[in-house]
Chains A and B, each alone.
Chain A
Amino acid sequence: MHHRYRKWWAYAFVTPAMIGLLVFWLIPLCFAFALSIMKWDGFGEKTFVGFNHFIDQFQNPVFQTAVINTVYYTVLTIPPGIAIALLLALALNKIPGKNVYRVFYFMPVVTSSVSVGIMWIWILNGDFGILNTLLGYIGIEGPNWLSDANWVIPAIAMLGIWWGLGFNIVIFLAGLQGISRSYYEAAEIDGATPLQKFVHITLPLLSPTTFFVTVMAVITSFQVFDQVFVMTQGGPGRASHVMVLHVYETAFQNGQFGASAATAVVLFVIILFFTLMQFKVSRRWVHYEG
């Protein structure tokens, strides 16, 4: 009989993973919280400062800029990104050969952030970039995207939409596949127009997917870092300074580990809020469906 030893087997099976969890996730996470209420420059004494870092950071114009830029990036990326993905997924769902299109749309998803960033620095070049050349053909004088404080976030958002589109399309396609044909057949018998079918069947039944895609996109947007670091390093000035860049610079350039941890905790709380919202709402939908 095995079941007497079963629990020891189970412990043996989970132990390596739990060691990894403890050492490289849980301890650093607790350490992050601890650091956020301490003053420490990486050497010497740690002193307890309570919520001072949080107060300082919220009053720090550079951190405020980082929060504003991150929110601005999120707002610019998500609505168009999701609308375009939804429309393309609807179109793809209706035609033969969708797997061929899918290959093209998904291509940026597998490309590394640094490669993508380097490609787009050249595309967005103010004087010789292909985007401005093409805009010139239709009579628009494009800005100097990455060195214009007003255009740098929109430019990075444009890249963000392009980069994430394929992923969102594929998730939407899976959601569309999950809607039973019978709803549409019933609606057709009642003489519904395509628009009515879209508004009354597709949109409501797709809403869990839309919600999921949106929340995931918000979470990813708040973590934006790689492209910004590669393309602008937060510039010009602080025009593309974002939250993760702030965490990074505060720790590794200014050596203020406590303050950096405090801003990381703020980021964590924001992301946690959206994640918990996703958990809660998706659970409600599961109950609703059942």
Chain B
Amino acid sequence: MKGSPIMKKPLRIKPVQWVLHIVLSLGAVVMVFPFLWTLSSSLKTPAQIFQIPPIWLPNPVQWENFIRTLEVMPFDAAYFNSFYITVVVVISQVFFCSLAAYAFAKFQFPGDKFLFLLVISMMMVPKQVIIVPQYLMLQQFGWVDTHWALIMPELLFKAFGIFLLRQFIMGIPRELEEAAIVDGAHPLRIWWSVIFPLIRPALAAFAIFAFKDMWNQFLEPLIYLNSPQLFTVPMLLNSFKGLYTADWALMMAGAVISILPILIVYVILQRQIIEGIALTGMKG
């Protein structure tokens, strides 16, 4: 390939950039180190885990720790619970929030300003403030220690979703909608075939944000769930902690099992996830 006309000039890196690369690499190592250390610890024998100086790469690798962990902790059920609860909630939130956002962005109706103000105000209410009264209410409904207590409060309304999606729908030119109206499409059809496709990037960003929120939920399952078979992944891991405090390898294996699937999805979709969360972060 030498001397080939297609070959690019070698990339020149300035000395300042070398320094920056070194600093940033060190920073990246610090950021990732806790994950790697958890992984390394999860593959050690009980003797190796307490060894000083520490063993960086366990040899032989104790894969049995994972088998042991999966035997004592029902991660399969927890993953199933987390997954179905999160998926149901996210799909429902995307549906109902985009519908409401469309109405707030493009329709005039008596009370629209007041209702939207109410939506915005709810963004200032931290979940922790309403969790106790919400618990007392759901207790009346008989939903304590059921998944309904996690699903129902999230199903129809997420203030931030309506706010974010409204911003995007307002950016859609009127003409696109009017063309569809002239063709005789009714509003539900316009929402589905004009609005929905046009705000797909915002919907994806919101869905990622909502997924992360729901998947990582901890206070709610902590308060509502008592039965281990109903536990979500964070809840299961937390209950694990009380039972196996001395067995660090087992706990680290549990942590790895709780993190790895999410990290794999993260690495595959990293651009969409980072930019989605950044976008939702900035609009909030």
Q: Is the interface of A mostly helix, strand, loop or mixed?
A: helix
Could you tell me if A103 and B281 are in contact, using CB atoms closer than 8 angstroms? no
Query: A271 is contacted by which of B126, B130, B159, B188 (Cβ under 8 Å)?
Result: B126
For A118, the chain B residues whose CB sits under 8 A away are 237, 240-241, 251-252, 254-255
A170 at the interface (CB under 8 A from B): yes
Q: How far is the CA of A105 from the CA of B29 in the complex (A)?
A: 9
A114–B234 CB distance below 8 A: yes
Q: Are B20 and A20 in contact (CB under 8 A)?
A: no
Q: CB-CB < 8 A to A167: which residues of B?
A: 277-278, 281
Tell me how many residues of B have a C-beta within 8 Å of chain A: 100
- In the complex, residue of chain B having the shortest beta-carbon distance to the beta carbon of A251: B132
Say yes or no: is A196 at the interface (Cβ < 8 Å to chain B): no
Residues of B within 8 A of A (CB): 11, 16-17, 20-21, 23-25, 27-28, 30-32, 34-35, 37-38, 41, 49-50, 52-54, 96-97, 99-100, 102-104, 107-110, 112, 115, 118-119, 122-126, 128-137, 152-157, 159, 162, 181, 186-188, 191, 212, 215-216, 218-219, 222-223, 233-235, 237-238, 240-241, 248, 251-252, 254-255, 258-259, 262-263, 266-267, 270-271, 273-274, 277-278, 281-282, 284
* CB proximity to B under 8 Å, residues A103-136: 103-116, 118-123, 128, 130, 133
Question: Do residues A267 and B126 form an inter-chain contact, with CB atoms below 8 A?
Answer: yes
**Contacts A29-B129, A171-B278 known; 16 new A-B pairs at CB < 8 A:** A2-B186, A7-B108, A9-B103, A10-B112, A17-B99, A20-B156, A21-B157, A24-B152, A28-B130, A91-B20, A106-B274, A115-B259, A122-B252, A123-B37, A229-B218, A251-B135
Residues from chain B with Cβ under 8 Å of A122 in the complex: 37-38, 41, 248, 251-252
Total interface residues in chain A, CB < 8 Å: 88
**Closest Cβ of chain B: how far from A261's Cβ, in Å?**
6
From B49, which residue of chain A is reached at the shortest CB distance? A128
Contact of A13 with B187 at beta-carbon distance under 8 Å, contacts A130-B37, A174-B278, A267-B126 already known: yes
Given contacts A92-B24, A105-B31, A110-B266, contact A20 B96 (CB under 8 A): yes
Decide: A24 and B258 in contact? CB cutoff 8 A. no
Q: Which residues A1-31 have CB closer than 8 A to chain B?
A: 2, 6-7, 9-11, 13-14, 16-21, 24-29, 31
CB within 8 Å for A17 and B157 given contacts A95-B17, A112-B218, A171-B281: yes
- Closest B residue to A268 by CB, please name it: B129
In the complex, which residues 75-117 of chain A have their Cβ closer than 8 Å to any Cβ of chain B?
Answer: 88, 91-92, 94-96, 99, 101-116
Q: Is the CB of B157 within 8 A of A32?
A: no
Closest partner residue, chain B, to A166 (CB atom): B31
Residue from B118, B162, B237 within 8 A of A26 (CB atoms): B118
